[in-house]
Structure 1
Amino acid sequence: MVKNPVLTLFLGFLPGIGHYRVGRSGRGTLYLLLCIMSLFFGIVAGAAEGEEAFFFIGLFFSAVFWLINFMDLIIYLVRQNGSRISGVHVPPVHPMYVSEQLDGVIYAPAANENVQGRSSERFYTILLSFIPGLGHLQLGLMQRGLNLMIGFFGLFAMIVFVAILADQPGFLTFLIVLPIIWIFGMFDAIRHVQLKQAGETLQDKSVLEDWEEHRQGGKRSKWLSTVLSIMPGAGHMYLGLQKRGLQLMAGFLLSIYLLDVLQLSLFLFLVPLFWCFSFFDALQMQSRLNSGEGELEDVPIVDWLINHQKWLGIGLMALGLYYIADRMLIEYIQRVWGDWQLTSDIRYYFKTGLTALLLIGAGVKLLSGKKEVKPE
């Protein structure tokens, strides 16, 4: 039987490392070399021939070998964890735990099987939780498991369908929500299996029902807040900071979308800065709540936007006019003149000019702002 199969399973994400842990050094070396060499030859061939196709071919074969490595480790762990130990000498235990004695050797099969059963249940739950909701179904939590499963795969199908239908690859950015659901489902299944093994009765509630009970009771789960904070704004909303969370989430997604549409690769460094600010701000808010400072004040990041909705309306109108010009006016010019290069140049200069105007306008606004003098 493999000691700590959960740790071995997570080490299996690194090619060959999980096999090294269970003593299968030959397979571990083989899988590690196959993954590295496939990727290496793809990079070398792509650089030598000047073709990106070789790199993607090498990446594909490396991914295939990694998948074979991971599946092989899972099959091995399932077989080892499910097999019964026969003919194993168990060290003597306290007389109160002795269940039978054969040929002078003391065995404690009841206690040993209980420990093995708990370990097997925990391992199978974590293994099934790699598919969101499946671990909950294994625990008998049908409603909670179906909610997670339908939410994960339904959101994935909707995003991909809309991106293909609207011919907007930038819409695939919203797929970053899926890892958050996956991580939440994994840790939630682990929490429930721990509660079950502790002797507590599991209640089949949906995720939304749990959140509502926590909100009404004034309680907030620290680990759940941390997991939700991976998505900017989601952790703030869970803590009850709706305005702050909505602004952070909308600002993060809108910035990624605008950087893709306007082709502002120069400002891509702002995205990780935005994410780090949102993540650590949520952790700070959670710390304040746990310290007993009372209810958190929902202070928006940009408070002047609420009192100046006129500027928000102007921005939305400008965005609508931009899409009219980009999708209708330029297409009409292209059909009339029949010059593809002309429309390409117009679209390029239009985006460049619009970006320059926005930056100049923001600079003028900052320079013209009055500095407030605080009274002594």
Structure 2
Amino acid sequence: MNCKYHPHQEAQAICVKCKNPICPECTIKLNDKTACRQCLEENLSFNPVSALPASLPRKTFPEKFLFLCYSLIPGAAHMDLGLFRRGLQLMIITFGGIALINFIGLDFLIPFIILPAWFFSFFESHHLRRQAEKGQAIVDQDLFNHQMFDYTPQLKNPRLIGYTIIVIGILGLLRHVDRYSFLPRLIGNWDYYNLLRGSFIPFLLILGGIYLIVKAARTQPSNLKSELEELSENQDNPGQAKQA
């Protein structure tokens, strides 16, 4: 008995689907079952346009309206899609940043946090919902992971972070001192408690930024020294360096 698809070759198995004799070239083992390559290709081929509506139920109007309401809150729509890590990070960055800036006294910076976070969360949540409706897999990854702009070098640079923290702390301190008219009332009576309470966080930010800058300045010479020592060792022993 010869193969159905290769008549010049002798068949060695029977396909479990089409029951045709097949040769070793056409034989494919699937969980201790034998199938031919032709049947496997027919099963794997499908029409996405016709298969998608049958596999994915359509959203009702109340569900769409609820999702629209969720998308107005940064991170809430992501949680509705099951992206709890990404949604929680969006909420913490948005509302935590607003609370911190409001406490420091830099109220004019709040729109620079609310507007980008709101637009990003709104449009990305609807984009992810369309991907899920098309049957595409969506991954609950971190907010700054595989984005258009890679912030990893900036986040790993303690000197840049230190300068940023110092600038924010100085701005918060100056704004709080100006709010309570510290300089005109320096000689007279003024509210020490409110001034010190509002200046505590800016002072901590300034000290933290100075610490990061000093730490970065101390680590860079040591790294440079180790690189120079390694380079000198390679120059002294060129044979060992080539073998390594």
Give the TM interval when normalised to the shorter protein. Answer: 0.3 to 0.5
Structure ranking higher in helix proportion: 1
TM-score by length of 2: 0.39
TM-score by length of 1: 0.27
Higher relative contact order, structure no. (Cα contacts within 8 Å, ≥ 6 residues apart)? 2
Based on CA coordinates, which of the two structures has the bigger radius of gyration? 2
